Each structure stands twice: as C-alpha cells, then as structure tokens.
A = this chain, B = another copy of it.
C-alpha cells in the first residue's frame, strides 16, 4: 500500500471515530490526510469506496493490535488467548478506542449503506472463526455446531457491550468483567454438553 493511500485510510478512521460516518466529507478527509481531494477519488473512487476500504483497514489494524498483545503477554493456553482476543477491544488505549469507535460506527451505518455489508460480513465471520478455533482448543470434546454457536454469541456480546461502553453507559472495567464471565459461562456450557 502506498504511503498516501495509508495516510488517507488513517485519516478516514480518525474522522469516523471522531464525528461518525455522517461527519465524513471527502474534502475534509483530504485536508485531514494532507492530500488533494482528487487523490482521494483516484485511490478510492467514491464515498462508498472509502468507507469499504476503511472498514477493511480497521479490521486489519485490530488484528495487528491483537497479535501485538499476544507477543507481549504471551499467554499459552487457549482460554487465556480467548480472553485476550475478546477483551482487547475494551482496553482504554486511545488507538484501540479510535479503532473500535470507527468499527462500531461503520457497522451501525451498514443499515443505511448496504454497500458496506460484504466487508462487514467478512470481518464478522473472521472474528467468529477465530473465536471458534480458540473455543474448540479450550473444549475439544464439544461439537462443532455448539462451538460455533458459542463463538457467535461471544462475538455478538462483545459488540453489544462495546456499543454500550462507547455510548458512555457502561464502564470499561465492568464491560471486561461481563465479557470474562460470559467466556466462563459458555465454556462451562460446552463442558456440560460433552
């Protein structure tokens, strides 16, 4: 990816996190990225193009935070990796907050911007897949169907809790606590189902 293309995507994520998708105007985005409006159109064709690529960019960046975290903390068992992966978004680091605000906002916008749905569905499926893999490692005796359902619930819960946290009606510590308990409850459920 060229530097200027990356600069535009970074500026887009920043602007969406600060003012929402409704606040994203192509000329202001160009100014924020320090490039011309023509260059934004050259790289991304139209507003829908920039929204789609921003969603992709944010998803990749979330994956990088997750991997970075793994390197630092280095948990070894699947249960700990699962906690790390599902709790990551509730950290109060500015870059994680920006990423997760922009992600939530793009997700909410998909109701009105159907061209975002494909990217959104892919990103959602990737989170479910990753969670399914870790749950299957944590609880190898559970059936695939049960593990997938648990992963769908845990990832949807994370999104629901995160929306409440970003909306300012749930404290981050409490969101983390509820998420940790949910992992415990789902793993116990998979255990009793053996």
Contact = CB atoms under 8 A, between A and B. Distances in A.
A158 B189 CA distance: 19
A108 B117 contact: no
Interface string A108-147: 1111101001001100100000000000000000000000
Contact of A189 (B22, B120, B152, B185): B185
A101 B111 contact: yes
Contacts of A166: 111
Contacts of A101: 111
A167 B111 contact: yes
B153 A178 contact: yes
A83 interface: no
B20 A111 contact: yes
A159 B175 CA distance: 14
A167 B107 contact: yes
Interface string A139-180: 000000000010011011111110110111110000001100
Nearest to A17: B111
A144 to B, nearest CB: 15
A47 B108 CA distance: 20
A188 interface: yes
Contact of A108 (B105, B153, B168): B105
Given A153-B182, A160-B156, A167 B22 contact: no
Interface of A: 19-23, 101, 104-105, 107-112, 114, 117, 120-121, 124, 149, 152-153, 155-161, 163-164, 166-170, 177-178, 181-182, 185-186, 188-189, 192
8 contacts: A21-B22, A23-B112, A104-B108, A108-B163, A108-B167, A156-B170, A160-B163, A185-B189
